[in-house]
Amino acid sequence: MIYTDTRDSSVKVDFKTAVINGMNSKTGGLYIPVEFPRMPESILQSKIEPSFRTVALEMAKPYCAGEIPDEDLDAIIQDAYPFISKLNQIDPSTYVLELFHGPTCAFKDFGARFMARVMSYFNRENKDNLHILVATSGDTGSAVGSAFHNVPGIDVTILYPEGKISPLQEKQLSTFTGNVRALKVKGTFDDCQKLVKTAFVDNELRSKFRLSSANSINISRLLPQGFYYMYASLLAKAKAPVSNKMQDPAIIMTVPSGNFGNLTSGLIAQKMGAPIAGFVAATNSNRTIPDWIATGKYEARPSVETYANAMDVGAPSNYERIAAMYSLDEVRSMFASYWTDNDGIINGIQECHKKTGYVIDPHGAIAWKAWDEIRNGGMEALVKGAKNDFTKPGLTSNVPSWAKEIINKNAVGILLETADPAKFGATVKQAIGKDPVIPERLQKIMNLPDQAIPMENDYNKFKDWLMATL
């Protein structure tokens, strides 16, 4: 497979180069495949429930072809996924795709564990360490740290915004030792991301160290997140005649979105044949993408702190990939777009619990709010000509191609639950009056000593630290 660059389509590199480099240091662009091969029809047309690991292997094959033999790729996938995503039906037309059953209780485990094993595979004969730099707004860092911990030949530096993630999330980040270290930056996620991106285009640093990324900047983290979109949509399709009393429903993926890597992974799965009719881009007060969809103007801005902190991103990196893959008119046809504020997040947790009994986290709560509004008159109002004020919480006014399926009650929603509610216990308790159950693997972390290193939001100081430490 050949990979090109979002900023220069003349660039052509192989999978290994895209993975190890993370992004193109010459242009600052992100790597994307030049094509998206269709999955085997034997899997797409099967009437039986799919196997997650079989889906993962068949999706990964074309992107690694000629560089990772199928036998080795299968071993990577088997080792990466001792867990799978779980599709939980919570009402007649709604599923929750639980993506928190991995070691760090967040969806980032799916991408990070595959990426770590692929990087280790490509680095196995290199004498010099590969240095991973990653910015996190919550769960990325812990997933990456866990995936790479004690992996030979690779070390990891995680940057997170001090005081702007949940206490449990910070504990997950600040307690790593050995080849994984965390820097608590006096700033926002966007500041952390800017420090990392600047390092990648710093010629002096790159001449001295082998640097790579582990955010959704890196294609090897983005591609495996597509596995659960393919798996969940095929599973929902197989279940529909019995579970939803629908023979061929339109499947709508409702995606809590910050840096928009997760949603981009869904677009890749759709291109490969996943039976997904459309997407809902659901975000918090950091509404850069909804504003772009509403107005046609993309304007990055400083991030705003919210209860759904993993989505506190004002300059989403994967906008570049979406804009490289589709025109704005195509995006408006595929996406419904929705945002809400902190009051809406609390209300979403409350209403989901009240109506279904399901305890959802703040990010999933935004997906719930979006889907519930869409199916209960919101989409029909748009079809009839309603013009919503995009500066206020709610749906943007574009009408996606799948709108009539909603009105005709021939659609099911899959809400992506990207983290265990226990990681946001205080917010969940504020909403429903009780603490969520804390998984044992999270309880153990709370007693570990903090190891995080303070860092100013100053690139020169960050660079000096890298030069002295790596």
Dump the DSSP string for 198-216.
HHHT-HHHHHHSEEEE-ST
Q: Is the pLDDT of residue 169 over 90?
A: no
- Largest pairwise CA distance in the chain: 63
User: Hey, is 311 helix, strand or coil?
Assistant: helix
Q: What is the pLDDT of residue 189?
A: 85
- Compute how many other C-beta atoms are within 10 angstroms of the C-beta atom of residue 425: 20
pLDDT in tens, 278-311: 999 999 999 999 999 999 999 999 989 999 988 9
Closest CA to 140 of 119, 167, 160: 160
Residue 151 above 90 pLDDT? no
User: Per-residue pLDDT for 137 more than 80?
Assistant: no
Beta bridge partners of 1: none
What is residue 5's predicted lDDT score, i.e. its pLDDT? 94
pLDDT, tens digit, 9 for 90 and up, residues 33-78: 999 999 999 999 998 889 999 999 999 999 999 999 999 999 999 9
Structure tokens at 404: 């009539």
Is residue 164 pLDDT above 80, yes or no?
Answer: yes
Sheet holding 8-13, edge to edge: 8-13, 3-5, 31-33
Q: Which 8-state DSSP code applies to residue 106?
A: B
Q: What is the DSSP letter of 435?
A: P
Distance CA 147, CA 460 (A): 29
> Which helix or strand (DSSP H or E) is residue 134 part of?
strand 130-135
Q: Which domains does the chain have, with CATH numbers?
A: 220-439 (3.40.50.1100)
Amino acid at 314: G
- pLDDT tens track for 393-411: 999 999 999 999 999 999 9
Q: How far is CA 229 from CA 87, 254, 259, 409, 467, in A?
A: 11, 11, 17, 22, 40
CB proximity list for 57: less than 8 A, separation 6 or greater: 70, 73, 74, 77
Report the alpha-carbon distance of residue 179 to residue 170 in Å, rounded: 18
Beta strands in 168-263 (DSSP E): 180-185, 210-213, 250-256
| Predicted local distance difference test score (pLDDT) of residue 465 | 95
pLDDT digits (tens, 9 = 90+) for 300-350: 999 899 999 889 999 998 999 999 999 999 999 999 999 999 999 999 999
Q: Where are the alpha helices (DSSP H) in 67-126?
A: 70-80, 108-123
b vs e for 387-417, b when ≥16 Cβ sit within 10 Å of the residue's Cβ? ebebeebbbbbbbbebbebbeeebbbbbbbb
Distance between CA atoms of 25 and 253, rounded to whole angstroms? 33
For the chain, what is the mean pLDDT?
93
State which H helix or E strand residue 280 sits in: strand 278-283
Residue, of 294 and 193, whose pLDDT is higher: 294
Confidence of residue 165 (pLDDT cuts 50, 70, 90): confident
Please compute the mean of the pLDDT values over residues 221-232 and round it to a whole number: 96
